Amino acid sequence: MKITTELVDHICGLSCLELQTEEKQDMTAQLEQIVAYMDVLNELDTTGIEPMSHVFPLKNVLREDEELPSQDRAELLACAPASDGEAFLVPKAVE
């Protein structure tokens, strides 16, 4: 399939990434090449085959509803690029 720069713009938007003009051209060409290669899967007839997300038939892996102590707030916030000692901070984000 044809990968257009418009499509690359769209998936950049979805991924929160931006590419400069030259990078975008390279990326468009590379993605087109990779996606073309992936199209070999169409040689295989997979009609009726259930898509497999987990290789093991594990199921119902559940936790009991028992409270454990939370992480110390100072330790969590220590990882953050911007905090005020109570909360993580970002530029205005309220609609």
Partner 1 sequence: MTWETVIGLETHVELATRTKIFCSCTTRFGGAPNTHCCPVCTGMPGALPVLSRAVLDYAVKTGLALGCSITRYSKFDRKNYFYPDLPKAYQISQLYLPIARDGAVDIRTPAGDRTIRIHELHMEEDAGKLVHDPWTDRTQIDLNRCGVPLIEIVTEPDFRTADEVIAYLEKLRETLRYLGVSDCKMQEGSLRCDVNLSVRPMGSTGLGVRTEMKNLNSFKAIARAIAHEADRQIELIEEGKRVIQETRRWDENKDATYAMRSKEDAQDYRYFPEPDLPPIELSEGYLESLRAAQPELAEAKRERYRRMYGLPEYDCRMITSDRALAELFEGLVELGAPPKQGANWIMGEVLGALSARGKEPKDMALTPPTLARLIALVGEGRLNRNTAVKVFEAVFDTDGDVDAHIREHGLEQLNDDALVRETAARVLAADPRSVADYRAGKEKALGALVGQVMRELKGRADPRAVNAVLRELLAQ
Partner 2 sequence: MGPIELTALELGAAIKKGEVSVVEAVQAALEAISAQDRTLNAFITVAGEQALDRAKRLQAGMKDASSPLYGVPMAIKDNICTMGVETTCASKILSGFVPPYDAAVVERLRDAGAVSLGKLNMDEFAMGSTSETSSYGPVKNPWDLDRVPGGSSGGAAAAVAAGLGWYAVGSDTGGSIRQPASYCGLTGMKPTYGTVSRYGLVAYASSLDQIGPLCRDAADCAAVLDVLQGHDRRDATSLPGRHDRPGWTGPSADYGHLLSGLTGDVRGLRIGLPVDCYGDGLDPEVRRAVLTVAEVLKSRGAEVVELSFPVLGYAVPTYYIIAAAEASSNLSRFDGVRYGRRAEHHEGLADLYRKTRTQGFGAEVKRRILLGSFVLSSGYYDAYYKKALQVKAVIKAAFDEAFTRCDLLLTPVAPTTAPRLGESLSDPLQMYLSDVYTVSVNLAGLPGLSMPCGSDSKGLPIGAQLIGPHFGEGVLLNAAHAFQLDTDHHERVPKGGEPS
How far apart (Å, rounded) are the C-alpha atoms in residues 58 and 78? 37
Specify the 3-state DSSP secondary structure of 10: helix
Q: Give 36's contacts (C-beta < 8 A, 6+ positions apart).
A: 1
User: What is the token pair recorded at 39?
Assistant: 């199209």
Within 10 angstroms of residue 80's Cβ, the number of other Cβ atoms is 12
- Show the site string, 34-73: x = touches partner 1 by CB under 8 A, - = not: -----------------x-xx-x-xxxxxxxxxxx-xx-x
Residues at the contact surface with partner 1, assessed by CB under 8 A = 14, 16, 51, 53-54, 56, 58-68, 70-71, 73, 76-77, 79, 84, 86-95
Residues at the contact surface with partner 2, assessed by CB under 8 A = 3, 7-8, 10-12, 14-19, 23, 27, 30-31, 33-35, 37-38, 40-44, 46, 49-59, 61, 63, 71-72, 75-76, 78-82, 88, 90-93
